Structure 1
Amino acid sequence: MVATVLDFRSNEAAQGTFALPIALTPGVEVFLTTITLNIQAVTNESVFFSTVGWQAALAILPVLPVLTFRIRRGSSSGTVIFQTNDSMFAGLGPVIATDRTFSSVHTDLVQPAFIVGTTQTYFLTVELSGTGGATIVGPVNLTGYLMG
């Protein structure tokens, strides 16, 4: 059986647009972008692609900023459906570049019955931990497909 794309949404902020750059504060989860999908059945699969450009702050070495990226359902503090970390170590030697690009793909295999027949909103967020600072420089992209 061939999967059919039932809905598609994408939202992207290029470098220097909207609120970019965003200096991150340790322990504070920051909203980056959002999309909505029309959920039609519990058997629908949601597929998400995300890309975020970020930069480590190198005021004092060594640093190991750890960025936790999340996709949440319903609100920027709603149910986490995906979470992963990205980090960069800068030691005491020469640092060539501090720019990083985070990318992920996540598939949500089954939709909860309570959201079927609704427009569901998904939020991409980031939270800084580790040592040292980091800034979201962009681009920031969240793309979602609803497959049936």
Structure 2
Amino acid sequence: MLTAGRVAATVCVAVLLVVAGVWASWGTAQHVMLSNGRERGTLTVAECGEDRCSGSYAPRSPGSQARSRVVIDRSIDVRKGARLPVVVKPGSSEVVRTGAAGFFHAWMPLGGALVFAGVVVGGWLRLTRVAWVTGLSGALLLGAAFVAL
């Protein structure tokens, strides 16, 4: 009975990790993946702080309005003067990077959760093949984000 309880608790922890990774990623990923009908354009970075950058927005999609200042979360390669394809989050002046770089950057929390879930599955459940697949999936997602950015 104790073994079954340990296994059930471990499975719950692993599932919770993956669900939390999806939840954390979806807030940004939905704007990248479901960008039809949203304002799309180009951000020209004017200044960057520790964790956010801002600049002007030039529209590319019909009905989109030019903006003098929008903000974006800072990623690895954002520098002053960079031009990034972005989509505007509805009802805000916040933008999200699109394309492959935006896709992989949005799903980075899921990648980290998969790596950690692989450790949980391998260490506590002793399911080594499942652990390797889970952990390597997360590592590949994080590696793809690094390369794309």
TM over 0.5: no
TM range (shorter): under 0.3
Higher helix content, 1 or 2 = 2
Higher strand content, 1 or 2 = 1
* Largest Rg, 1 or 2: 2
TM-score (norm 1): 0.22
TM-score (norm 2): 0.22
